Structure 1
Amino acid sequence: MLPFTTDQFLANLAAYNQAFWPVQLAALGLGGCAVVLLLLRPGMADRLITFILAAMWLWTGIAYHWLYFSRINQAAVSFGALFVAQAALLAHVGIRKQLRFGRGFGPAVGVGIAFVGYAIVLYPLIGTWTGHAYPRTPAFGVTPCPVTIFTFGLLLLAKQPPPRPLLVVPLIWSLIGGSAAFLLGVPQDWLLLASGVIAVPLIVLGDRRHARAPSAEKPA
């Protein structure tokens, strides 16, 4: 049983969106920049994309979880800590250039593109179509669920498998936040619930194939 009602959740979400407008537009712009960087591949693309993700996780942890969601759910204090930790980990990975992005082929790439497009475009549209119009809907880049889907999408588009610790918090939130699809009637979160189950195995399998590649290339 949730410690808040659906109406309380939506009212809290609306108050959050209204208080921080137009940060949502800035977040949408950052998401668009990440996609452009992924396509054009300038020299700083990998680091900039990683820092964009870090900024989204940091903002969501502090502004959404700690300042607003904690008003109706005490567990949001812990959720915010997880999001801030994910932001710190992304920043660390970005500084060390441990995450490289690039276009390619295969199931993981296709799923990654689908997740990115869903988080930016379809997620808000589905919310509007099903009666959760702005501001009573999670906005891209500044609320946990679309941030998580977007992150999984970009991690699936990494040239090399991302560091495993980067998968932990998004996987946890895909299960916790995805429960909103059932408990709060948020249909756009159906994909969130499935995103971790789909993305993590694809990334882990890619990691194993990458690990076997050098030995496969050695002459017999």
Structure 2
Amino acid sequence: MADWLSYTLSDFLLFSARTYYRLFELYNRAIWPAQLLALLLGLILLWRLQRTGPQQGSVVMVILAAGWLWTAWAYLLEYYDTINWAARYLATAFVVEALLLIWTGLVRNRILFLPYGDWISRTGMGLVLFALAVQPLIGPLVGRDWWQAEIFGVAPDPTVLATLGVLLTVDKRPPWGLMIIPLIWCALSGATLWTMGSPDAWVVPMAALGVLGLAIYRVSSARGQDRQTEAR
């Protein structure tokens, strides 16, 4: 037991920061110009979030699911798996999340987004905008090459954060079943970046903690309102 306690996270890391970001560069060069299509889909997602109607949930969830599926195959299996043996299991989780999104939004079609319904929903919209427009700039701002930028729909972190932002705009109670895998990924990604000494390691886990806190607050507030209604 004492031997295990002597290990740190860096002892389990199979690659260096240089290798990790060089992999992103190779990946981005290989899939270009898929990033442009992904950003276009992100804009469609934003537009559709603001237009309530019978197809709102279907369009939004299918776009998110497409990003999760693409990332599972094109990045996690084809590239990340070459430096991290756990990538295949992470890819499986991404596929599961994509299927859950499709089931909820397309098959059941019982989800409604109100991006400006309250301040929590507006915060969710802000997180979506952050994932689409700001997160790709973080890498270059901290000194990495532009080819190492992480783009919504084709890279894990912005795709996950955009998903969490969208789920915060869901009317009434947050869909916990859809939030589990994104939150777990945020914890793993943050731990990986922190171990590599990346200056932006705090971004994803802090955003996830914020989302979790807001979701819990929304549930507790809804329960309080229910109690007040029953008391009347």
Q: Same fold (TM over 0.5)?
A: yes
Does residue 24 of structure 2 align to residue 50 of structure 1? no
Q: C-alpha offsets along residues 169-203 of structure 1, whole Å, 9 cap, x if unaligned?
A: 01101111122442334444422111221112311
Does residue 206 of structure 2 align to residue 198 of structure 1? no
CA-CA distance at 1:123 after TM superposition: 0.8
Q: For residue 29 of structure 1, what is the aligned residue in structure 2? A: 40
For the 8 Å contact 1:98–1:163, the answer to whether it is kept is no
Amino acid corresponding to residue 120 of structure 1 in structure 2 = L
Question: Counterparts of 1:29 and 1:116 in 2: how far apart (Å)?
Answer: 14
Aligned Cα root-mean-square deviation (Å):
2.0
Please list, as runs of the form range in 1=range in 2, the aligned pairs for 1:125-164 lying within 5 A after superposition.
125-164=137-176
Aligned length: 220
Question: Counterparts of 1:105 and 1:185 in 2: how far apart (Å)?
Answer: 39
Q: Secondary structure at 1:104's aligned position in 2?
A: coil
Q: C-alpha offsets along residues 56-94 of structure 1, whole Å, 9 cap, x if unaligned?
A: 111111111111100000011111111111101111111
Bigger mean CA deviation after superposition, 62-71 or 125-134? 125-134
Rg larger for: 2
Q: For residue 91 of structure 1, what is the aligned residue in structure 2? A: 102
Does residue 34 of structure 2 align to residue 20 of structure 1? no
Q: Secondary structure at 1:160's aligned position in 2?
A: coil
Q: For residue 66 of structure 1, what is the aligned residue in structure 2? A: 77
Bigger mean CA deviation after superposition, 178-187 or 26-35? 178-187
CA-CA distance at 1:146 after TM superposition: 0.7
Question: Counterparts of 1:180 and 1:30 in 2: how far apart (Å)?
Answer: 28
Using the size of structure 2 for normalisation, the TM-score is 0.86
Question: Counterparts of 2:204 and 2:110 in 1: how far apart (Å)?
Answer: 26
For the 8 Å contact 1:60–1:144, the answer to whether it is kept is yes
Please list, as runs of the form range in 1=range in 2, the aligned pairs for 1:102-141 lying within 5 A after superposition.
102-141=114-153
Does residue 191 of structure 2 align to residue 173 of structure 1? no
Unpaired stretches in structure 2, ≥5 consecutive residues: 1-9
Amino acid corresponding to residue 206 of structure 1 in structure 2 = R
User: Identity over the aligned pairs, expressed in percent?
Assistant: 30
Q: Secondary structure at 2:50's aligned position in 1?
A: helix
Q: C-alpha offsets along residues 114-142 of structure 1, whole Å, 9 cap, x if unaligned?
A: 21121111111222111123212322221
For the 8 Å contact 1:178–1:193, the answer to whether it is kept is yes
Using the size of structure 1 for normalisation, the TM-score is 0.91
Bigger mean CA deviation after superposition, 34-43 or 85-94? 34-43
Unpaired stretches in structure 1, ≥5 consecutive residues: none
CA-CA distance at 1:105 after TM superposition: 4.7
Call closer, same or farther: CA 1:122–1:187 in 2, change over 3 Å.
farther
CA-CA distance at 1:109 after TM superposition: 2.1
Question: Counterparts of 1:93 and 1:143 in 2: how far apart (Å)?
Answer: 23
